[in-house]
Structure formats: structure tokens, C-alpha cells
Amino acid sequence: MGCSRKERVFMALLGIAAASGLTMLILILVKATDVFLPADTKFGIVFDAGSSHTSLFVYQWPANKEKDTGVVSQALTCQIEGPGIASYTSDPTQAGESLKGCLEEALALIPQTQHQETPTFLGATAGMRLLSQKNSSQARDILTAVSQTLSNSPVDFWGAKVLTGQDEGAFGWITINYVLGMLLKYSSGQWILPEERTLVGALDLGGASTQISFVPQGPILDQSTQATFRLYGANYSIYTHSYLCFGRDQALTRLLAELAQVRLNSSAALVRHPCYHSGYQATLPLAPLRESPCVHTTDSLNLTQNLTVEGIGNPGECVAALRRLFNFSSCKDQEDCAFNGVYQPPVHGQFYAFSNFYYTFNFLNLTSRQPLHIVNDTIWKFCQKPWKLVEASYPGQERWLRDYCASGMYILVLLLEGYKFSEETWPSIQFQKQAGGMDIGWTLGYMLNLTGMIPAEALTQWRAQSYSIWMAGVVSAVLTLVAILGAAAVQLFWTQD
């Protein structure tokens, strides 16, 4: 006996509902890994508040870390207009305002949905270390101002603080070894610890301090110079030390102050500067010399005086004057001693020299690993050039032009007599600004270390959450379809003959 028309329709609708339910069951049984979206990316922002300027860096890394450390890459760099934040003592709020332009650029790059989970940190280096020594309340006001600006922005603000010299040196060492692939490398579809690797040392020359960091051959005998950390499942122990007041700008300020000190008994002081080119002459105020905590002048100094500086272009006298900035006699021929009585094991391995080491030698065309005698000869000949010839040869570079002779000579004294490099170990130094497409400095090393403290969204957990959300949508859609079909079947059953 045949079915009626309404029975056939009713059975067809029930079949569709059953097929939909079966489809839902199959989807539930599908492995979660087959339907996942790609793992997301985390971002971090670091401000490097140096003595002469501030820079912002944006870093990114996959949410799933490698042995508790992120695989970090540089996504953006932005140099903030104006001087270093330590210069804003008379108006600290401007230190905070100065950060906004680059911060907006960073936030435009990072997806808006991730702004509130983006760790943001400002690290101030030697310029603020000096200000903290000279006037701690002024330094505190500046840090408060930049903290307020960053706290009011839509980021996860981790704080603004003055880095110790040891941290600055250690993070710089992490950076250079990471970008060179010494801490982690990609092989056969996975990240691994390199089997054959040569860890390199880091040489940093800022405006107010200089740092040396490396792995010595023997044990580190002074624990205050030792930094230890764990990255990608491996432990590291390095020697690192920072010399405050031995950065490029402060060293040259101290040099000028020392040369001026013996000439200030007359009302019209004239200083013959051996590191300035012959024919150079300028009138400078004395007050800035007294503003630096690195400069020790007599109380009888008349700060209202102007100082007339005349270059004589004498490399030999220049080196002799620069040597007086160091206390070499305090080491008394000790092998494990640098200068000023500071412990340092003998330098070992390859070194990367960056910041002002690089900028000075790049200007002098000395970044191609030339032999020491070529480097020395090049700097001496440059120092002996008349000022008019130097000005004509380098148009548009007047701001720093007079100081390149002194900077070059200072680097030689610091590396050879201070850090104890020799003609034999000189070839181990490479002067670089970048490596692996990333800027060399402390910020990347800081971010790598920081990723170990940021809770990772474990890939399996993230996938399970994504799958649950997706599955809930599938279930909801199928149940809705079944309900609609069921309602339609009931309606049809009662209205059809």
C-alpha cells in the first residue's frame, strides 16, 4: 500500500534532519588539528632612552615559545625627535610628550586587538644614571613623566627604570649572539641549539658609558662582574662591566675640562686642543662642563667665563691627553685588570663593536677589518688635516666633525690600553651597526629575556580553545537547522490534506 503525499514529505524532512545530525557527529570526531587557524603572534615595545637620544623598537614572536623563550624578530624601529630624556630637567612633562609620535607609529603596526596585551618597557641608560647621581629628584620626575605617558596608552606597561650598566652589557651580549644564530638556529623543520658555535663578545660605546661583555677562557673570579641567564633551555655565564663617564660624549667633555683647567687663571682663557684640527677655533661657554657629574672642577672656577678653543692637530699630544682620563697605574701590571682597578679576564674570542665604536669608524672608513697599523695610520693622518680641508671634504656634517679625531684616538686608547686588545687580537674585532638585519644593542636582548616571563599561549591550549569556539558554532548551526526542519515538518503535516 503506497504512502500518502504528506507522509513522503514528512519522511524527506526527517531524512534531512538525520543527515544534518550525522554531519555534526562526523565533524565532532574530526581531529582538532585539521581545522585550526595559524598560531598568533605576540608583540613587545622597548624604548631605549640613551644619553643623547631615545629610540623605540617593536619586536614580534610566535605565541608558542621554544623552551620557554620566544623566537623574536624586529618589526619596527623609530628614532624619537629631540635629545635624551635626561635633558628635560626643566620640563619633565616634555620627556613624556616626546615619546608619543613613535608610540603612535608602533600602535599602528600592532593589531588593535593586541594593544592591551603588548608589553611595553622604557629602559634609561647612562645619561639617566648620571642624572640620578647628580639630582635624584630630577631623575625621578622624568621617569614619572614618561611613565604617565605610557600608562595612559593602550598597552601593557611594564615600567620605566634606569638600567644598571651590567644589565645593559649583558643584554647587548644576548642580542649579538642571538642575531648571529649562536643561541638558536632552524634546522630540519625545528629550532635547535647550534652544535658548533662560537659565542662572540660585545663592545658598546654609548654617549656616557662603555660596556664590555664576553665569555672568558677561565673562571670569573669577581662575582660582581658575572651575569647569568637561561635562554632556550641553556645556561650562560659571562663577564660584563660598564664604565660610567667613559662613553664618547662624556670622555670628550672630560678631556676638554682637563685641558681647560690649567688655563683658567686668566680672564680670557685660551685652550690649545691637540685633538682638534689645526685652524679650528671656537668660543665655548664653561657652564656645560660643570653640569656633568663626570667633570671634577675646582670651586673657584668662574662659570660665567667663555673658553676660546684653538685646534693644533697634534695626534701625539692628543693620545697623551686622552691617557690621562684613565687610571692605568691602579692595575699595577696585573693580568686580570683593565683600568681604574677594575677586574677583567684577558679578552677571548671574536667581538662585535657597535654604537659609537661603529659610527666613528664608519666615518673614518675603518669598518672593513683593516689591520691595526692601517687603522692607526688612518686616524693619525686624519687628525693632521687642516680644519678648512676637513670642512670642505665633509659638507653637512659640521655638528660632530671636530670630534672625529678625538673619538678615533679615544677608541684606540680604550680598546688597546683599557680593554687590553693587542695587535694579535685586534683582527677579532668587527665594527658593525646591524647583524642579521637587526640593530645591535641591549633592547633585543632585554625582550628575549622578557619573553621568558610572559605567559605563553601554549599551542595545544590555544588550538583547543579555537576548536571549542568553532565546534560550538557548528553544533549551534546544526541544531538550529534541525529545529527549523522539524517545525516545517509539523506545519506541513497539519496543513496538508
Query: Is a pLDDT exceeding 60 seen at residue 462?
Result: no
Query: Is a pLDDT exceeding 80 seen at residue 404?
Result: yes
Average pLDDT of the segment spanning 71-100: 95
Query: Is a pLDDT exceeding 80 seen at residue 153?
Result: yes
Average pLDDT of the segment spanning 465-473: 42
The predicted structure's pLDDT at residue 465: 41
Least confident window among 37-41, 42-46, 259-263, 450-454: 37-41
Average pLDDT of the segment spanning 96-114: 96
168 is catalytic: yes
Average pLDDT of the segment spanning 201-214: 96
The predicted structure's pLDDT at residue 458: 37
* Per-residue pLDDT band at 317 (split at 50, 70, 90): very high
Pairing status of strand 156-162 against strand 185-187: unpaired
Among 66, 168, 258, 457, the active-site one is: 168
Q: Calculate Rg over the CA atoms of the chain.
A: 32
Residue 326 DSSP class:
S
What is the rounded average pLDDT for all residues in the chain?
Answer: 85
The predicted structure's pLDDT at residue 453: 65
Residue 51 vs residue 483, higher pLDDT? 51
**DSSP secondary structure of 272-290:** EETTSPTT-EEEEESHHHH
Q: d(Cα 93, Cα 100) in Å, to the nearest integer?
A: 12
Query: Is a pLDDT exceeding 90 seen at residue 38?
Result: no
Q: d(Cα 403, Cα 323) in Å, to the nearest integer?
A: 17
* Per-residue pLDDT band at 302 (split at 50, 70, 90): low
Q: What is the pTM of this model?
A: 0.81
Query: Is a pLDDT exceeding 70 seen at residue 268?
Result: no
Residue position matching grid coordinates 641567564: 229
The predicted structure's pLDDT at residue 289: 80
Main-chain phi, psi angles of 127, to 5 degrees = -60, -45
CB 347, CB 424: distance < 8 Å: no
The predicted structure's pLDDT at residue 216: 96
Query: Is a pLDDT exceeding 60 seen at residue 325?
Result: yes
Average pLDDT of the segment spanning 438-455: 84
Residues in the chain: 497
Q: Which domains does the chain have, with CATH numbers?
A: 1-23+41-162+458-497 (3.30.420.40), 193-435 (3.30.420.150)
**Which percentage of the chain shows pLDDT scores above 70?**
80
CA distances from 82 to 106, 175, 367 (A): 18, 26, 28
Question: What grid cell was written down for 289?
Answer: 662642563
Average pLDDT of the segment spanning 353-363: 97
Average pLDDT of the segment spanning 435-446: 89
SS3 call for 258: helix
Query: Is a pLDDT exceeding 90 seen at residue 416?
Result: yes
The predicted structure's pLDDT at residue 31: 40
Contacts of 247 (CB under 8 A, 6+ apart): 51, 126, 205, 206, 207, 208, 209, 210, 356
**DSSP secondary structure of 415-431:** IIIIS---TTTGGGEEE
pLDDT digits (tens, 9 = 90+) for 15-36: 655 555 555 544 444 443 333 3
* Per-residue pLDDT band at 67 (split at 50, 70, 90): confident
Query: Is a pLDDT exceeding 50 seen at residue 344?
Result: yes
The predicted structure's pLDDT at residue 472: 47
Residue position matching grid coordinates 605563553: 456
Q: d(Cα 271, Cα 268) in Å, to the nearest integer?
A: 10
Query: Is a pLDDT exceeding 90 seen at residue 185?
Result: no
Q: d(Cα 304, Cα 374) in Å, to the nearest integer?
A: 44
pLDDT digits (tens, 9 = 90+) for 472-492: 444 455 555 555 555 555 555
Least confident window among 293-307, 446-460, 478-492: 478-492
